[in-house]
């Protein structure tokens, strides 16, 4: 790990717990469309693939565009009310910056909502670069997002570490050929994560510094 110069973080489920905000906006949409609301557990399993894919399984195709508009309008305010950092995130980011690491975000969220979270939770100052799914052709688990971030810093992939919480993060890291740490605080089970054989699995983001 001595060669690492860049640490790329996923956002939801890794640094930020916004599941209550997502569930609130999701069920608001279903209510407006006269559809049955879903449990926190059900919605949690859908998180990580972007908001369009979040809605697709439960919203008729003909209503999807309208549903997405409803969701995004509601979600601007839901994030401010229902999201928070996981324990130790801010001290962790501060410590990594003090150690001289470049820090970046790679999120399947639209950039607008990622920046709302970073600003609201007061951690945007720690990141040198933020790249989201609406800024790339492909979202994770495709490796494009990670590849673009490494290229931006003109580094070798062996000098980067990716930290996420889901199976798709492990897959993206492997496809990009970047060592990946998966924290089990998100929406993928530990068993599913283990099947992907990431570089490391940790139980909490606070344990990341132990790897250095």
Q: Which residues are catalytic?
A: 10
For residue 72, give both structure tokens. 């995004």
User: Per the domain annotation, does 1 fall within a domain?
Assistant: no
pTM above 0.95, yes or no: no
* Domain stop point among 39, 56, 82: 82
User: Per the domain annotation, does 91 fall within a domain?
Assistant: yes
How far apart (Å, rounded) are the C-alpha atoms in residues 81 and 207? 27
- Residue 173 and residue 127 share a domain: yes
Strand-pairing partners, residue 17, are: 84
User: How many angstroms from the chain centroid is the CA of residue 46?
Assistant: 13
- CATH code of the domain in which 168 resides: 3.40.50.1000
- Residue 120 and residue 59 share a domain: no
* Domain stop point among 36, 64, 82: 82
Label the pairing between strands 84-85 and 200-202. unpaired
- Residue 62 and residue 25 share a domain: yes
CB contact at 8 A, 170 and 56? no
Q: What is the mean pLDDT of each run of 10 residues along the chain (212 residues)?
A: 92 94 95 92 83 90 94 93 95 96 95 93 97 94 97 97 96 97 92 96 93 84
């Amino acid at each position: 790990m001595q060669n690492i110069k860049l640490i790329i973080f996923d956002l939801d489920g890794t640094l930020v717990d916004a599941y209550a905000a997502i569930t609130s906006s999701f069920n608001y949409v279903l209510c407006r469309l006269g559809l049955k609301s879903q449990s926190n557990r059900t919605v949690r399993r859908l998180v990580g693939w972007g908001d369009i894919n979040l809605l697709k399984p439960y919203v008729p195709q003909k209503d999807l565009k309208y549903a997405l508009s409803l969701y995004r309008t509601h979600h601007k305010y839901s994030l401010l009310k229902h999201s928070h950092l996981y324990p130790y995130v801010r001290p962790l980011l501060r410590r990594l910056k003090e150690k001289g690491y470049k820090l970046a975000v790679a999120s399947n969220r639209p950039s607008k909502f990622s920046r709302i979270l970073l600003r609201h939770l007061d951690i945007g100052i720690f990141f040198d670069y933020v790249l989201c799914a609406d800024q790339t052709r492909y979202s994770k688990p495709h490796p494009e997002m990670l590849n673009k971030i490494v290229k931006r810093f003109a580094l070798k992939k062996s000098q980067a570490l990716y930290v996420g919480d889901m199976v798709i993060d492990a897959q993206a890291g492997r496809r990009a050929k970047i060592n990946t740490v998966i924290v089990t605080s998100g929406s993928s089970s530990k068993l599913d994560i283990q099947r992907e054989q990431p570089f490391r699995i940790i139980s909490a983001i606070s344990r990341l510094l132990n790897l250095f």
